[in-house]
Amino acid sequence: EIVLTQSPVTLSLSPGERATLSCRASQSISSTYLAWYQQKPGQSPRLLIYGASTRATGIPDRFSGSGSGTDFTLTISRLEPEDFAVYYCQQYGRSVPHTFGQGTNLEIK
């Protein structure tokens, strides 16, 4: 099983700042199969990024993804008030189980 470890667990920033979230895999995964989701309180997860760097439909361009192998990053260039949420990375595709990271809570400072 591929274990995904996200860091930091909690990130405290202010609107307008840049956020950098990390996701590290226990073994190399194809960048084709790495996704990021956003979850706000009381809501379902929303797909933000897939294929490590492709934004999903309707996702603003302040969200970007990068990385390869075992290290992946989600960057939010300038935080908007609606961006404060929990973010999960996930590996999907041929490797089962389709594991999620434990999440990073992006909170307002």
* 44 near other proteins (CB under 8 A): yes
Can you tell me the distance from the alpha carbon of 34 to that of 68, in angstroms, rounded to the nearest whole number? 9
- What is the number of alpha carbons within 13 Å of residue 44 lying toward its C-beta? 2
SS3 17: coil
Query: Which residue among 94, 107, 108, 109 contacts other proteins (CB under 8 A)?
Result: 94
* 96 near other proteins (CB under 8 A): yes
Nearest one of 27, 3, 8 to 90, comparing CA atoms: 3
* 103 near other proteins (CB under 8 A): yes
Among all chains, which residue has been given the structure tokens 């999903």? 56
Query: Which residue among 22, 56, 59, 70 contacts other proteins (CB under 8 A)?
Result: 56
* 100 near other proteins (CB under 8 A): yes
Can you tell me the distance from the alpha carbon of 102 to that of 80, in angstroms, rounded to the nearest whole number? 23
**Minimum distance, C-beta of residue 52 to other proteins, in the bound complex (Å):** 11
Residues of this chain that interact with other proteins (CB under 8 A) are 33, 35, 37, 39, 44-47, 50, 56-57, 88, 90, 92-94, 96-103
